[in-house]
Amino acid sequence: MRSITLATILALSATACTTMEAAPLVDTANPARMVSPILTSPEAQDTQTWAEPERARVTHVALDLDLDFETRRVGGTGMLEVVAEPGADTIVLDTNGLEIARVTDGNGRELPWEIESMEESGAKGEPLRITLGDARTIRIDYRAPAAASALQWLSPEQTEGGVHPFLFSQGQAILNRTWIPTQDSPGIRQTWEARITAPEPLDVVMSGVRQGKPEDLGDGRRAFRFVMDKPVPPYLIAIAAGDIDFAPIGPRTGVWAEPATLPRARAEVGDTEEMVEAAEALYGEYRWGRYDMIVLPPAFPYGGMENPVMTFLTPTFIAGDRSNNGLIAHELAHSWSGNLVTNAVWGDSWLNEGVTTYFENRIMEAVYGEKRAEQEAALMYANILETLDEVGRDAPGTALSTDGEYQLGSAIAYEKGAFFLMTVESIVGRERFDAWLRQWFDNHAFQPATSEMFYEDMLANLVRDDAEAERLMLREWIFEPGLPANVAEPDPAAFAAVDAAVAAYSANGAIPTGYADWTSAERQRFLDNIPKERTAAQLAALNEALGLASTGNNEELFLWLELALANRYEPAVPQAQEFLARVGRAKFVRPLFATLWGEGEWGRPIAQRIYADTRATYHSVTQAGVDRVLASD
Ligand code: BES
Ligand code: ZN
């Protein structure tokens, strides 16, 4: 690659681009509706879908569904609008466990269909093949199974209020096919609308704009309507229902949560409107109208999920001092990187997560200043190094762009992705970099993208000459494992004081006196870097002096528990048990069980005992992660 000149690459990429995007199709049924193109290049082929979008694809989804909390079933109808190439007689949808009752066209005529049974289809599910004839509207009467892995039904005991049940969905990456029969691929964007009925007094929110007031159906149920008029990848269709209230923040921002959680939630996300303004100043207009959030019960398996107009959040990020709201900046940034411009295949998920992690850091800098942003970046950098040490610098899974598979550990897609952009920024300068990234979002808005396109766009619109191309090492960054030599390392001054405190503690056990006044990032740096092997007496002294077990910040509490359990520190066992019973976030839960499991005859019975109590309260994503740990040797 090195020997090829920039001019040659530009010439090559110009031809590659014209074949990459299929001509945008017009939705003949509804010409006013926005339809996004699909990509047809080989690297944009999604191995995780059964759909054949080049022949026939879904452009719009209209759901009419009832939420039955008694039987834990979601069911009703899905109306799909499709466009098809001349001669394409069938359309293939993704399904996983759906019970299909009937498939008809727009006039109620039966359409032949079959669910092909595939060997070992797993989470990919099964293709639903429908014979189209000349139909361009399909109506599917169906029901999702109670165990649909996109949906988690919570009993009242799993909520803060304890009185009403709760439901939420999680679509990323390929879970939505367990409750919506459509083409479930990030490269096949669709507009959607929904009518959802639910029992009173539950409120329903979705990742679309709610239309008017709920309609009282007179039978103890209400109907809610939603519209998403911008084409989105279907993993971004999301729903939550429960006893929830809303609190406004700014003119276009607000937060939903259970009444008992709402005041703390509202206080924690109080900087959101400023974050939206900061994000717009960086990379252009926020294009989705409102930016609302919902703080879910603790069973939600992630920190956050960037569902359009309605970010989903774990309650475990609430610390009382906004110290974990990099999470908000992150999910907000996805409104550009991920939701506006979307990885066409999951092997390129760094295009969503890495670009977002970079953008997140820029928002944090704009709102809270350079010091906080630099510290958070330095923590990210330490994560990259830790992962590379663990899996090896030549492991193929440490490349940003991998063939169809997820990267090895989140530090690659997220943090290596972010440091790639920080490195480019440091070489070309912030002004040029920002102008480039803004045009990337603008020119690919509401469209899928690949690593190859990102690379070619940088060459075409950012890189000045061959010498600069050489310095940037773009292909190494995107396609090679490990960490390129030109990485812009974080400023060691970011944590100078903490690193000195770590050195002093490591040398002679001197416990830092200023800990209470440190930032959360500083505390995390300290807990990450002190010696891993500690005696019970040392742990007791540390906890006594620094109040580690009683911190209100779950990121810090998690680090304490990891340290303590890895040293078989008995007093930490009830603390871990309490934590694992109230936190369902996979990022915390899985590693703590792994730490216990790693402690053999001491830790394994503890892990099994705690998991016997908590497993049923966890989301299927969290369960799957812990199940794997407890099945390992
Ligand atoms: N989109 C992700 C969550 C996700 C990733 C769900 C992959 C399913 C598959 C979300 O934006 C995210 O990155 N969440 C992080 C936030 C953190 C990096 C601030 C999380 O949940 O920890
Ligand atoms: Zn993310």
On average, the pLDDT of the chain sits at 94
Instruction: Identify the sign of the CA torsion 98, 102, 103, 104.
Output: negative
- Taking the CA of residue 330 as reference, the ligand 1 atom at the shortest distance is 19
Find the helix packing angle between 417-428 and 350-368, rounded to 10°.
Answer: 60
**Ligand whose nearest atom lies closest to the CA of 407:** 1
Would the pLDDT of 7 be above 60? no
Indicate the SS3 state at residue 135: coil
pLDDT at residue number 421: 99
CA distances to 539, 579, 594, 616, 624 from 607, rounded to whole Å, are: 21, 13, 9, 15, 15
pLDDT of 337 strictly over 50: yes
pLDDT computed for residue 339 by the predictor: 98
Domain 337-479: state its class.
mainly alpha
Residue of 330, 384, 416, 620 to test ligand 1 pocket, by largest number of atoms within 8 Å of CB: 330
CB 129 within 8 A of CB 88: no
215-226 per-position pLDDT tens digit: 999 999 999 999
Is residue 335 scored above 70 in pLDDT?
yes
Q: Which atom of ligand 1 is nearest to the CA of 327?
A: 19
Atom 1 of ligand 1: nearest residue by CA position: 305
pTM: 0.95
| Residue of 498, 499, 576, 571 lying closest to 534 (CA atoms) | 571
Fold of 532-630: 1.25.40
Residue 25: is its pLDDT beyond 60?
A: no
Confidence of residue 405 (pLDDT cuts 50, 70, 90): low
Say if residues 331 and 313 touch (Cβ distance below 8 Å).
yes
**345 Cβ neighbours under 8 A, 6+ residues apart:** 43, 44, 45, 46, 47, 48, 186, 187, 404, 450
163 Cβ contact partners less than 8 Å away, ≥ 6 residues apart: 156, 243
Contacts of 419 (CB under 8 A, 6+ apart): 380, 381, 384, 483, 487, 488
- Please give the CATH superfamily to which domain 47-243 belongs: tricorn interacting facor f3 domain (2.60.40.1730)
Confidence at residue 22, expressed as pLDDT on a 0 to 100 scale = 41
Residue 27: what pLDDT? Answer: 54
What span, in angstroms and rounded, lies between the C-alpha atoms of 547 and 69?
42
* Cis bond upstream, residue 173 (ω within 30): yes
354 C-alpha vs ligand 1 centroid, how far in Å? Answer: 11
Can you give the C-alpha Rg of the chain in angstroms?
25
Burial 468-501 (b: 16+ CB within 10 A, else e): ebeebbbbbbbebbebbeebbebeeebbeebbeb
Is the model's pLDDT at 121 over the cut of 60?
A: yes
What residue's CA is closest to ligand 1, atom 6? 172
**Residues 416-423: what's their mean pLDDT?**
98
Query: Which residue, by CA, sits nearest to atom 15 of ligand 1?
Result: 303
Q: Which one, of 227, 179, 150, lies nearest residue 66 by Cα? A: 179
Q: Which residues surround ligand 2, an ion (CB under 5 A)?
A: 353, 356
Cβ-based neighbour number of residue 270 at 10 Å:
16
Q: Residues near 574 by Cβ (< 8 Å), separated by ≥ 6?
A: none
- Which residues lie across from 447 on neighbouring strands? 341
222 Cβ inside 6 Å of ligand 1: no
Task: Give the closest ligand to the alpha carbon of residue 586.
Answer: 1
Q: What letter does residue 71 receive in the DSSP assignment?
A: T
Residues making up the chain, counted from first to last? 633
Residue 369 DSSP one-character state: -
Give the number of other Cβ atoms within 10 Å of residue 125's Cβ.
23
Distance CA 207, CA 326 (A): 21
Residue 409: the pLDDT is: 72
Determine the number of helices (DSSP H) and then strands (DSSP E) in the chain.
Answer: 20, 22
Model confidence at 249, pLDDT cuts 50, 70, 90, reads very high
Residue type, 445: A
3-state SS, 389-410, equals: HHHCCCCHHHCCCCCCCCCCCH
- For the CA of 353, the closest atom of ligand 1 is 13
What is the distance in A from the centroid of ligand 2 to the CA of 313?
Answer: 12
Domain ranges of the chain: 47-243, 337-479, 532-630
Who's near 525: CB < 8 A, 6+ residues apart?
375, 378, 379, 382, 495, 498, 499, 502
Q: Are the C-beta atoms of residues 440 and 338 closer than 8 Å to each other?
A: no
Is the minimum distance from the CB of 376 to ligand 1 under 6 angstroms?
no
pLDDT of residue 260 exceeding 90: yes
Q: What does the pLDDT look like over 131-175, one tens digit per residue?
A: 999 999 999 999 999 999 999 999 999 999 999 999 999 999 999
Cβ(305) – ligand 1 distance below 6 Å = yes
pLDDT > 90 fraction of the chain, expressed in percent and rounded: 93
Q: Both tokens of residue 423?
A: 């490195």
How far is ligand 1, taken at its centre, from the CA of residue 303, in Å? 6
Residue 408: per-residue pLDDT: 65
* Ligand 1 site, residue 172, Cβ cutoff 6 A: yes
pLDDT on residue 519: 97
Q: Is the pLDDT of residue 16 over 50?
A: no
- The closest alpha carbon to 581, from 564, 561, 601, belongs to 561
pLDDT at 207: 99
Q: What percent of the chain has pLDDT over 70?
A: 94
Answer whether 587 contacts ligand 1 (Cβ < 6 A).
yes
Lookup result for tokens 């919902």: 294
**Banded model confidence at residue 31, pLDDT cuts 50, 70, 90:** low
Contact 168, 37 (CB under 8 A): no
List, for residues 488-518, the tens digit of each pLDDT value. Answer: 999 999 999 999 999 999 999 999 999 999 9
What's residue 29's pLDDT? 59
pLDDT at 549 over 70: yes
pLDDT, tens digit, 9 for 90 and up, residues 293-329: 999 999 999 999 999 999 999 999 999 999 999 999 9
Q: Which are the catalytic amino acids?
A: 331, 414
- Indicate the SS3 state at residue 77: strand
For 63, residues 6+ apart whose C-beta sits below 8 A from its C-beta are: 76, 77, 78, 79, 180, 192, 193, 194, 195, 196
What integer is the mean pLDDT of 261-269?
A: 98
Ligand 1 pocket check for 233: Cβ under 6 Å: no
pLDDT at 69: 98
Token representation of residue 314: 């774990």
Q: Which residues contact 462 (CB under 8 A, 6 or more apart)?
A: 424, 428, 432, 433, 436
- CB atoms < 10 A from the CB of 308, how many? 26
Q: What is the pLDDT of residues 365-384, one digit of tens each?
A: 999 999 999 999 999 999 99
Pocket test for ligand 1, best of 169, 302, 313 (most atoms within 8 A of CB): 302
**For 258-313, what is the HEC assignment?**
CCCCHHHHHHHCCCHHHHHHHHHHHHCCCCCCCEEEEECCCCCCCCEECCCCEEEE
CB atoms closer than 10 angstroms to residue 441: 19
Report the alpha-carbon distance of residue 238 to residue 69 in Å, rounded: 17
Cα within 13 Å of Cα(154), Cβ side: 28
User: Are 332 and 395 in contact, with CB atoms under 8 Å apart?
Assistant: no
DSSP category for residue 359? H
CB 519 within 8 A of CB 372: yes
CA distance 10 to 159: 56
Residue 21: band (very low, low, confident or very high) from pLDDT cuts 50, 70, 90: very low
Residues 355, 306: contact at Cβ < 8 Å? no
Locus of tokens 């970079």: 358
11 pLDDT exceeds 70?
Answer: no
Alpha-carbon distance of 173 to 331, in angstroms, equals: 16
Task: Using the structure block, give the residue that is written with the tokens 């990429």.
Answer: 13
Q: Does ligand 1 lie within 6 Å of residue 302's CB atom?
A: yes
Which ligand has the shortest distance to the CA of 411? 1
- How far is it, in rounded angstroms, from Cα 360 to Cα 326? 7
